[in-house]
């Protein structure tokens, strides 16, 4: 029986559960013996000019080995923005010098090296930094005026613009047109493990850097570039990584700084940040203001849709700048809309830089179009599920190109909706809702429906390729080297399953190694839901190729025709067909000659998983508090290799979507001071705010890889966010509310109800 498709428990877990995983701050590597602790001094002003930095007292503090300010950086050059088309004026200094500008609360001003961890915080407090505040630019609306320009050498806060305005007559032939400004708010990725890095220089002139990251190879290249080092001199290791969600893609400047400090000090250096440092310093996500306009006929057919995006890039534009292009690509989503328009403008603000966060550009597209569909449905008085059904792209097995320019591989969106509606008992939910409305209950029912498609395995800097090395050892065990970079996804188990499937070597005897640039020099890391469909496919391909190598060798040994040999699963080797146990074992073959294969798998194109979610909420219409009571989801990611782990990916994704829809938001005051910089302030979704989820199965394989697998890491979030938001709106729709921005907190819902009642009109709104 095939191991693929079975619920194999993780091989990682026994150590994780008894000794604990080994994260960067846990390392006891002997190369780090005697390491100094780095503590950064950060700006507590969002925007201003540094007038003085006095480190004299700090230099005398106990345990201090060195304090670095901008004057002590030698020939370190500011780090250019990570996208080649961005103005070099957006470069980020290593430390903001006297006379220079800080651009967000958290910007780096000095760094202290101490013998002990606690001494670092003491000494950092004694670095006296004076900053003359400038007006803070907190919103993209303020940024767009250019009244205050953050980077004078650039001359404008506009970072980039994509697409053209829609023609004036874009909606001219529509019977009904609805338009609305909506917000896809700034949120924190908030992996439980904050950022951390360590570095040690060897006598051979090479530096070993350990850091928590989603792609060792990419991070290594960046760090070498920033420090002007020969990449051959950099050895980067990602130990166990405590969550990423996109925010650990690419190196952070602090990581490179740790390597530079270790070189300066002539001793190893360690750094791990506090949560409040993380909540201002680590890349954040989403941060789009959107205007959706949707038009069509009263019978439910949508004929034109426009999405205008304003992206907040934060202080130093990074990868968040180009995420709106994914939003634009996926604007049409699951719908067959004849005319689709999308454009985006991106601005720098005095907030934390924006990067990828679970879905990265695609959740924003889905949230927008799903809100638009609901608004359209409400306007024409049609059930929102029915409006979606009328407008779906019909089921397809050959690639289909959308009006917004994406080419989908395979999909059946109506079937996904049918399944989820049936599993949720949609008709009965609507009946219960009607009863409660009729009775005027305090706790009203809301039902939210979403349909989605997303792009996974897109080129995120490594093409659509991934490599794998597979070696069978003389003791009968095997090792897989992969360029993917698991941080919770369970590749050690799934990649072993893929190799085991071909070789018959038990999963427990297959070790999977990753995240070490000396062992795996090339790799694309784990991001964009690419890993199984590219990295897993590469392992599969390596195993198939290794069987072919072994078959030839075994044929010689056994004096048999290679075509007569087959993998003998029971005996972990190769035997003549029909006579198991008569051949040669993997161990014997590996003992005779090294048995190893290196291969690269390249996908023809990305894949497009899809699904449909139903969220049910109960809203107390007196307080505005909405509670999610059910989440029923179809998430079709093609062929599933390990259902246990695939379900785990869905669960986590769904929960993060609920977090954004109901609770989470990074807030600044008018001066740019973070208001949500600890977990006491930031409403990270907890167990009590979630129900157990109801997952419905559906698997439409993709032709883009031999496994038939699409990505599953981000899908849950993309579906659940709009479903929950829609459910909240739906719960108070009978009171005249048409929209509530995310997060749909009690206050927002309560206000929306009051506004709808006060206006006495059909349409409600929120702040």
Partner 1 sequence: MQVSMTVNGQQRTDEVEPRTLLAHHLRDNLGLTATNIGCDSTSCGACTVIVDGLTVKSCTVLALQAEGSEVTTLEGLSTDGEMHPVQAAFRSEHGLQCGFCTSGMVMAAVGVLADNPNPTDREVREGLEGNLCRCTGYHNIVRAVLKAAESGPAAGQVPAAKQEVTA
463: region left, alpha or beta (phi > 0 left; psi from -120 to 50 alpha): left
Q: Compare residues 396 and 684 and give the one whose CB is closer to partner 1.
A: 684
Q: Compare residues 240 and 312 and give the one whose CB is closer to partner 1.
A: 240
Structure tokens at 478: 């095997």
Is residue 420 part of the contact set for partner 1 (CB under 8 A)? no
C-alpha to C-alpha distance for 65 and 115, rounded to whole angstroms: 7
Span interacting with partner 1, options 10-18, 367-375, 378-386, 472-480, rule CB under 8 A:
10-18
Task: Tell me, rounded to whole angstroms, the distance of Cα 452 from its chain centroid.
Answer: 17
Q: Compare residues 267 and 487 and give the one whose CB is closer to partner 1.
A: 487
Q: Compare residues 515 and 764 and give the one whose CB is closer to partner 1.
A: 515
Contact positions with partner 1 (CB under 8 A) in 691-710: 692-693
Burial per residue of 704-713, b for 16 or more beta-carbon CB atoms within 10 angstroms, e otherwise:
bbebbbbbbb
Q: Compare residues 293 and 642 and give the one whose CB is closer to partner 1.
A: 642
Q: How far is the CB of 359 from partner 1 (least distance, A)?
A: 14
List the one residue from 14, 155, 405, 463 that touches partner 1 (CB under 8 A): 14
Q: Compare residues 118 and 548 and give the one whose CB is closer to partner 1.
A: 118
Q: How many CB atoms lie within 10 A of CB 139?
A: 17
Task: Tell me, rounded to whole angstroms, the distance of Cα 135 from its chain centroid.
Answer: 32
Q: How far is the CB of 39 from partner 1 (least distance, A)?
A: 14
Nearest to 615 by CA among 649, 663, 655: 655
C-alpha to C-alpha distance for 443 and 625, rounded to whole angstroms: 9
List the one residue from 36, 113, 241, 724 that touches partner 1 (CB under 8 A): 241
Sign of torsion over alpha carbons 576, 580, 581, 585: positive
Is residue 63 part of the contact set for partner 1 (CB under 8 A)? no
Is residue 275 part of the contact set for partner 1 (CB under 8 A)? yes
Span interacting with partner 1, options 184-192, 375-383, 443-451, 632-640, rule CB under 8 A:
184-192
Q: Are the C-beta atoms of 766 and 739 separated by less than 8 Å? A: yes
Is residue 688 part of the contact set for partner 1 (CB under 8 A)? yes
Span interacting with partner 1, options 12-20, 419-427, 553-561, 564-572, rule CB under 8 A:
12-20
Query: How many residues are there in the chain?
Result: 767
Q: Which phi and psi (to 5°) does residue 520 adopt?
A: -130, 85
List the one residue from 20, 155, 165, 202 that touches partner 1 (CB under 8 A): 20
C-alpha to C-alpha distance for 615 and 724, rounded to whole angstroms: 5
Q: Compare residues 189 and 539 and give the one whose CB is closer to partner 1.
A: 189
Q: Compare residues 721 and 766 and give the one whose CB is closer to partner 1.
A: 721
Is residue 359 part of the contact set for partner 1 (CB under 8 A)? no
List the one residue from 487, 514, 530, 748 that touches partner 1 (CB under 8 A): 487
Look up residue 24 and give its DSSP letter.
Answer: G
Contact positions with partner 1 (CB under 8 A) in 381-410: none
Structure tokens at 308: 């205008």
List the one residue from 120, 250, 490, 719 that touches partner 1 (CB under 8 A): 490
Q: Are the C-beta atoms of 608 and 453 separated by less than 8 Å? A: yes
Geometric angle at alpha carbon 413, from 408 and 419, rounded to 5°: 145
Q: Are the C-beta atoms of 58 and 123 separated by less than 8 Å? A: yes
List the one residue from 81, 93, 120, 191 that touches partner 1 (CB under 8 A): 191
CA distances from 348 to 87, 142, 159, 670 (A): 12, 10, 6, 16
Q: Which phi and psi (to 5°) does residue 612 adopt?
A: -150, 140
Nearest to 39 by CA among 107, 130, 119: 119
List the one residue from 172, 192, 427, 434 that touches partner 1 (CB under 8 A): 192
Is residue 463 part of the contact set for partner 1 (CB under 8 A)? no
| DSSP H or E stretch at residue 117 | helix 117-125
| DSSP H or E stretch at residue 366 | helix 362-380
List the one residue from 6, 56, 117, 407 that touches partner 1 (CB under 8 A): 117
Look up residue 78 and give its DSSP letter.
Answer: P
Is residue 684 part of the contact set for partner 1 (CB under 8 A)? yes
Q: Are the C-beta atoms of 689 and 628 separated by less than 8 Å? A: yes
Q: Which phi and psi (to 5°) does residue 446 adopt?
A: -125, 135
SS3 assignment, position 473: coil
Q: How far is the CB of 18 from partner 1 (least distance, A)?
A: 5
Contact positions with partner 1 (CB under 8 A) in 607-646: 644-645
C-alpha to C-alpha distance for 247 and 628, rounded to whole angstroms: 27
List the one residue from 97, 135, 225, 243 that touches partner 1 (CB under 8 A): 243
Q: Compare residues 116 and 556 and give the one whose CB is closer to partner 1.
A: 116
C-alpha to C-alpha distance for 76 and 92, rounded to whole angstroms: 11
Q: Compare residues 176 and 690 and give the one whose CB is closer to partner 1.
A: 690
C-alpha to C-alpha distance for 275 and 269, rounded to whole angstroms: 20
Beta partners for residue 182, in sequence order:
290
List the one residue from 93, 242, 457, 722 that touches partner 1 (CB under 8 A): 242
List the one residue from 51, 52, 274, 757 that touches partner 1 (CB under 8 A): 274
Q: Are the C-beta atoms of 462 and 524 separated by less than 8 Å? A: yes
Q: Compare residues 9 and 181 and give the one whose CB is closer to partner 1.
A: 9
**Number of chain residues interacting with partner 1 (CB under 8 A):** 56
Q: Compare residues 50 and 196 and give the one whose CB is closer to partner 1.
A: 196
Q: Compare residues 23 and 260 and give the one whose CB is closer to partner 1.
A: 23
C-alpha to C-alpha distance for 715 and 333, rounded to whole angstroms: 13
Letters for 67-106 (x = contact with partner 1 by CB under 8 A, - = none) are ----------------------------------------
Span interacting with partner 1, options 239-247, 316-324, 455-463, 586-594, rule CB under 8 A:
239-247
Contact positions with partner 1 (CB under 8 A) in 639-658: 644-645, 647-648, 651-656
Span interacting with partner 1, options 41-49, 257-265, 678-686, 703-711, rule CB under 8 A:
678-686
The DSSP code sequence of 397-450 is SS-EE-TTS-EE--B-HHHHHHHHHHHHTHHHHHHHHHHHHHHT-SEEEEEEEE
Residues binding partner 1 (CB under 8 A): 9-10, 12-14, 16-23, 25-26, 28, 117-118, 190-194, 240-243, 245, 274-276, 487-490, 644-645, 647-648, 651-656, 678-680, 684, 686-688, 690, 692-693, 716
């Amino acid at each position: 029986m095939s191991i693929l498709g079975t619920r194999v428990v993780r091989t990682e877990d026994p150590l994780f559960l008894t000794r604990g995983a080994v994260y960067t701050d846990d390392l006891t590597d002997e190369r780090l013996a005697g390491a100094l602790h780095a503590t950064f001094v950060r700006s507590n002003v969002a925007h201003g000019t540094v007038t003085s930095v006095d480190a004299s007292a700090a230099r005398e503090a106990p345990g201090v080995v060195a304090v670095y300010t901008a004057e002590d950086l030698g020939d370190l050059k500011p780090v250019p923005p990570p996208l080649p088309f961005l103005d070099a004026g957006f470069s980020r200094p290593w430390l903001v010098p006297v006379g220079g500008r800080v651009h967000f609360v958290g910007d780096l001003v000095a760094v202290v090296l101490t013998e002990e961890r606690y001494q670092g915080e003491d000494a950092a407090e004694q670095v006296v930094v004076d900053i003359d505040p400038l007006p803070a630019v907190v919103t993209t609306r303020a940024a767009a005026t250019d009244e205050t320009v953050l980077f004078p050498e650039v001359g404008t806060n506009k970072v980039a613009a994509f697409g053209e305005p829609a023609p004036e007559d874009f909606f001219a032939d529509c019977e009904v047109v609805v338009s609305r400004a909506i917000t896809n708010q700034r949120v924190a990725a908030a992996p439980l493990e904050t950022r951390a890095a360590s570095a040690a220089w060897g006598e051979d002139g090479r530096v070993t850097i350990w850091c928590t990251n989603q792609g060792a190879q990419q991070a290594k290249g960046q760090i070498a570039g920033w420090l002007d080092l020969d990449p051959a001199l950099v050895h980067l290791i990602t130990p166990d990584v405590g969550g990423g969600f996109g925010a650990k893609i690419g190196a952070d400047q602090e990581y490179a700084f740790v390597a530079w400090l270790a070189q300066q000090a002539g001793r190893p250096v360690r750094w791990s940040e506090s949560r409040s440092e993380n909540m201002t310093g680590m890349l954040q996500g989403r941060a789009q203001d959107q205007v959706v306009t949707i038009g069509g006929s009263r019978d439910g057919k949508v004929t034109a849709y426009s999405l205008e995006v304003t992206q907040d890039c934060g202080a130093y534009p990074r990868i968040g700048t180009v995420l709106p292009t994914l939003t634009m690509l996926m604007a049409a989503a699951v719908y067959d809309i004849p005319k689709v328009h999308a454009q985006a403008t991106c601005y720098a603000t005095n907030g934390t830089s924006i990067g990828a966060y679970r879905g990265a550009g695609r959740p924003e597209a889905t949230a927008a179009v799903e809100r638009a569909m609901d608004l359209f449905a409400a306007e024409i008085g049609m059930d929102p599920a029915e409006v979606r059904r009328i407008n779906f792209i019909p089921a397809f097995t050959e690639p289909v190109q959308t009006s917004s320019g994406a080419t989908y591989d395979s999909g059946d969106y109506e079937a996904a909706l049918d399944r989820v509606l049936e599993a949720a008992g949609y008709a009965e939910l609507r009946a219960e809702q009607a009863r409660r409305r009729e009775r005027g209950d305090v706790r009203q029912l809301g039902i939210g429906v979403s349909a989605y498609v997303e792009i996974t395995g897109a080129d995120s800097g490594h093409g659509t390729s991934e490599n794998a090395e597979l070696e069978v050892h003389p003791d009968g065990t095997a090792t897989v080297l992969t360029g993917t970079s698991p941080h919770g996804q369970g590749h050690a188990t799934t990649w072993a399953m893929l190799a085991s499937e071909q070789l018959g070597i038990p999963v427990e005897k297959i070790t999977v190694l990753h995240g070490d640039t000396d062992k795996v020099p090339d790799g694309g890391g784990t991001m964009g839901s690419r890993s199984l469909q590219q990295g897993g496919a590469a392992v599969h391909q390596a195993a198939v190729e290794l069987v072919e190598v072994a078959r030839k060798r075994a044929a010689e040994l056994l004096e048999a025709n290679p075509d007569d040999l087959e993998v003998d699963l029971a005996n972990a080797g190769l035997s003549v067909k029909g006579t198991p146990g008569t051949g040669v074992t993997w161990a014997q073959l590996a003992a005779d000659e090294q048995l190893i294969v290196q291969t690269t798998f390249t996908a023809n194109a990305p894949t497009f998983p899809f699904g449909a979610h139903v969220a049910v909420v109960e809203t107390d219409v007196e307080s505005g508090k909405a509670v999610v009571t059910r989440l029923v989801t179809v998430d079709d990611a093609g062929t599933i290799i390990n259902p246990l782990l695939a379900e785990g990916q869905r669960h986590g994704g769904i929960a993060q979507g609920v977090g954004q829809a109901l609770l989470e938001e990074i807030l600044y005051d008018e001066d740019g001071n973070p208001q949500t910089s600890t977990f006491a302030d930031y409403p990270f979704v907890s167990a009590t705010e979630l129900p157990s989820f109801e997952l419905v199965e559906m698997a439409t394989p993709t032709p883009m890889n031999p496994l038939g697998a699409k990505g599953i890491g981000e899908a849950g979030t993309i579906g659940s966010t709009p479903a929950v938001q829609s459910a909240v709106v739906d719960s108070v729709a009978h009171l005249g509310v048409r929209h509530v921005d995310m997060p749909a907190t009690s206050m927002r819902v309560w206000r929306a109800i009051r506004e709808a009642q006060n206006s006495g009109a059909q349409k409600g709104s929120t702040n």
